[in-house]
Structure 1
Amino acid sequence: MKKISKSLHRILSIVVGIFISIVCFTGAMLIFENEITEWQNPQIYKVTPTPNGAIPVSDILTKVVATESQKAEVTQVVIYRNPKKSYKVVLNVGGDTKTLYVNQYTGKVLGKPTESKFFYTMYRLHRFLLQPRPKDDSIFWGKKIVGISTLIFALILITGIITWFPRKGQSWSNRLKISIKHGWRRFWYDLHVVGGVYVAILLLLMALTGLTWAFPWYRTVFYGIFASGDKQTQARPNDKGKDKTIYVDNETDSIDSQRYVSWQRAVENVEAMGKGYTQFTISKNEVRAKISNAGNSRASDTYKFNPTTGDITKTKPYADVSKYMKTRGWVYSIHTGYWGGFAMRVIYFIAAMLGAALPLTGYYLWIKRRFFNKKRKKE
């Protein structure tokens, strides 16, 4: 069993190792994208609270719409419990989606951050190896290679653990130490073998969840196992034809702030429940209240409200959300490390970086053994 696993581990790694390194490295780079983007753009994301508190949402939205030169549709407002984070307002302007950040204490439009070419490149490498999405039905080779490599990576991790597993009578302690006193070759060997074992479970979780974005057949099987009894259509209802926006035509100067008063009242009604929500996302007649930043990072309670009064008319707690939607949230959270909060994402970063190094150390050890050892024997 060990001999087969070792051979399989080596052969598969030689074939797809370089792709595994790319996917793991780019994944590590994306883990703290939000934090780095906010750090680079404090003038957009950070605000200073005032003694009088935030001005009403209705006033904020009318000021935002007034900055547009053509017909604008407010589709969403995101309010954070952190008083030092600016409000996020999403608009539909001339058929295009536009996101702006606003100082909730002054109503000043702060603009939007400049798109990072670095993170955009990392994302496209991570998902598609930089290949543009085909306009026809031709094979999306970049996405397919990433998917196949990730699938094989899962098998490589499993065979690696089997190969590492101590034989009967062998000491476990020696199999869990990385030596730094016996030369570089021994260090790279231990880093590959022992380091790989330490992060194997996390890398396996990343791989198995990441595959849901790579292959429709895998996604069907995956959700069939973990969300049995729910239909996929529950997660993606057909809302075609349904208006989810509030229309304001500032070309005719018909801005009516009362349109948004109910949004403010709805949020106040939800906050009054005292459930400690961390974020509120408001759209037409609906408030989604984020439960926490750990666990399922997409978990939220949903409240329907009267568009005139802002009174809550219907509540859908997270506990009543379909199993399919819960699973989707958990897949994203487990894949990105959000399920364990900031500390877990630090661990994920280390694991992903080590995952990127594993094929490189493996190539080094293989080349050293295969070519340099042969030269020594001939001499």
Structure 2
Amino acid sequence: MTTFRKAVGTLHLWLGLSTGLVVFIVSLTGAIFTFQDEIRDATQAWRKVEVPAQPTELLLPSRLQAVVEHNHPGLKPAFFMLMGPDRSAVLYTTDKQGTYFATALNPYTGQELGHLDLRKDFFSIIQALHMYLLLPEEIGGTVVGISVLVFVVMLITGIILWWPKRKTDRKRSFTIKWGARWRRVNYDLHNVLGFYAASIALILALTGLMMSFEWVMKSVYFVSNAGQEYPAEKTPPTVDTLQTVAAAPQPVADVLYQQIRRGSPAAKMIFLGLPTSPKQPVYSIAYERALYYYHRDEYYFHPVSGQLLKSIPHSSKSNGQKMADVNYDLHTGQVLGLGGKILAFLGSLISASLPVTGFMVWWGRRKKPKKQRSKAATV
């Protein structure tokens, strides 16, 4: 083994041992979360509603909000998710401790269909594990981000170590020798599966890093725009607190909703922000497809009057902003539909297996006599 490969192998080993547990947790929870919408639809009947036979307008947000305030007094409205014509509308609220709740309602009748404490929701817990290991968000997010960054280095060094030195080694490098002893099978599982999943795992890791580190997001934005800046699409408007404005003639949430419907009539899903401060604009998003987050029109409104302060339609966005918008759909694989989700699931599952099989390779070599260990290192 050359000095270079020895150095790469040492780097690969110690980086893997130092971050293996975090990579295992993040990858496994990522695999579980991939099909969260499909599993929720199959197990939570309240996510779907029957569309009336006669054309019927959806109830205005204030009507739905009134139902939640009546049924769950003391909760403060945070935002709405209007999921589509055949799906429930969901109002997210918080209590005095900052705990989030989700209340699903029939958007045609206002009937409450379900109420969740998100601290106890399975997929909310999985998501929190995936993003920050159930630690305080700033600490856990940093640990996860650094570990995923190390995982990218691991993928690159792993490919270097896997790369066959001789033509005669190529067939062995692409296949798992199932009939061999378990240590050999484990070695092949680590190397061969790692190679096949490397490209998918790299996409999942890089899109995850875009969520963890602003500098990664800015780098992707810069490269996608060939170095050109578009400050107008990245700078939110400000609310002039010195200017006196008239209150909205009807509930602000209704005013915002109606403007979004006029601006994005084809939108199937809407994130409707609610005023939290008279000094901060209200941010809302209209999505072209339900449960897909790429094609989005963005809106900023005055928190008191409901006046539109700024809109950023999808068609006007730069390539860099579109890359930022598609990031979540890339990360979960759903940008390619069901096939993409299956690839993301398998890539995440294999990524979770790599720290386990890698640890077993290292542990097995530790138990070998020194001569056997040095011989094994050349394989």
Same fold, TM-score > 0.5, yes or no? yes
Instruction: Note the alpha carbon deviations across 1:294-327, whole angstroms, 9 max, x for none.
Output: 9x8322246899xxxxxx9x98541212444323
Write the mapping of 1:89-168 to structure 2, written as runs, cut at 5 A.
89=91, 99-115=102-118, 116-133=120-137, 140=139, 142-168=140-166
Out of 49, 52, 61, the residue aligned to residue 50 of structure 1 is 52
Stretches of structure 1 lacking an aligned partner (at least 5 in a row): 135-139, 249-254, 306-311
| Offset from partner CA, 1:209-258 (integer Å, 9 cap, x none) | 22234344444444333343235774351545689xx989xxxxxx9699
Please tell me whether residue 366 in structure 1 is matched to residue 366 in structure 2: no
The AA in structure 2 aligned to 1:57 is: L
Q: Distance in 2 between matches of 1:117 and 1:102?
A: 18
Using the size of structure 1 for normalisation, the TM-score is 0.73
| Equivalent residue, structure 1, for 2:69 | 68
Supply the distance in 1 between the matched residues of 2:210 and 2:260 (Cα, whole angstroms): 36
Which residues of 2 match residues 298-337 of structure 1 at below 5 A? 298-301=294-297, 317-337=313-333
Matched residue, 1:34:
37
Structure 2 CA distance, aligned partners of 1:206 and 1:57?
39
Aligned-partner Cα distance in 2 for 1:247–1:25 = 49
Question: C-alpha distance in 2, partners of 1:118/1:356?
Answer: 20
What letter matches 1:267 in structure 2?
A: R
Structure 1 residues 268 and 88, CA, compared in 2 at 3 Å: closer, same or farther? farther
Query: Is 321-330 or 346-355 further displaced after alignment?
Result: 321-330
Q: State whether structure 2 residue 20 is matched by structure 1 residue 22.
A: no
Q: Is 1:62–1:256's contact at 8 Å kept on the other side of the alignment? A: no
| Distance in 1 separating the partners of 2:300 and 2:205 | 37
Distance in 2 (CA, whole Å) between partners of 1:216 and 1:265 is 31
For residue 190 of structure 1, what is the aligned residue in structure 2?
A: 188
- Structure-2 change in CA distance of 1:269 and 1:293 (3 Å): closer
1:348-363 matches, within 5 Å, as: 348-363=344-359
Which amino acid in 2 is paired with 1:16? Answer: T
Over 3 Å counting, the alpha-carbon distance change for 1:27 and 1:268 in structure 2 is: same
Distance in 2 of aligned mates of 1:375 and 1:163: 21
Q: Distance in 2 between matches of 1:168 and 1:179?
A: 18
Distance in 2, Cα, partners of 1:229 & 1:150: 28
**Could you say which residue in structure 2 is the equivalent of 1:309?**
none
Aligned AA for 1:329?
D
Following TM superposition, by how much is the alpha carbon of 1:155 offset from its aligned partner in structure 2, in angstroms? 0.9
| Equivalence for 2:287 | 290
How far apart are 1:333 and its partner, in Å?
2.5
- Equivalent residue, structure 2, for 1:267: 261
Q: Which amino acid aligns with 1:122?
A: I
1:373 is displaced (CA, Å) by: 4.5
Calculate percent identity across the aligned residue pairs.
27
Q: Is the 8 A contact 1:57 1:264 kept in 2?
A: no
Give, in angstroms, the shift of residue 368 of structure 1: 1.0
User: Would you say 1:212 and 2:218 are equivalent positions?
Assistant: no
**Out of 211, 216, 222, which is 1:224 matched to?**
222
Contact 1:31/1:349 (<8 A) preserved = yes
Structure 1 counterpart of 2:340: 344
2 CA distance for matches of 1:259 and 1:238?
A: 19
Distance in 2 of aligned mates of 1:303 and 1:219:
21
Change over 3 Å in CA distance of 1:5–1:179 after alignment to 2: same
Normalized against structure 2, the TM-score is what? 0.73
2:209 alignment partner AA = L
List gaps (5 residues or longer) in structure 2: 275-281, 302-307, 374-379
CA change 1:232–1:368 in 2 (3 A) is farther
Counterpart in the other structure of 2:16: 13
Aligned to 2:236: 237
Cα 1:54–1:257, aligned 2, differ >3 Å: closer, same or farther? farther
Q: Contact 1:166–1:175 (CA<8 Å) still a contact in 2?
A: yes
- The offset of 1:280, in angstroms, is 4.2
C-alpha contact (below 8 Å) 1:73/1:247 kept by paired residues: no
Helix, strand or coil at the partner of 1:170? helix
Give every structure 1 segment of 4 or more consecutive aligned residues whose post-TM-superposition deviation is greater than 6 Å. 70-75, 91-98, 255-259, 283-287
**C-alpha distance 318-109 of structure 1, shift in aligned 2 (>3 A):** same
For this pair of structures, how many residues does the alignment match?
A: 349
Quote how far apart the aligned CAs of 1:198 are. Answer: 0.7
Decide whether the 8 Å contact of 1:65 with 1:72 is kept in 2. no
Shift of 1:360: 0.9
1:83-121 deviation line (CA, Å, top 9, x unaligned):
431223457999988653221332313243342454344
Asked if the contact 2:200–2:347 (Cα under 8 Å) also holds between the matched residues in 1, the reply is: yes
- Whether the aligned pair in 2 keeps the contact of 1:47 and 1:85 (CA below 8 Å) is yes
1:362 CA displacement = 0.9
CA distance in 1, matches of 2:142, 2:318: 30
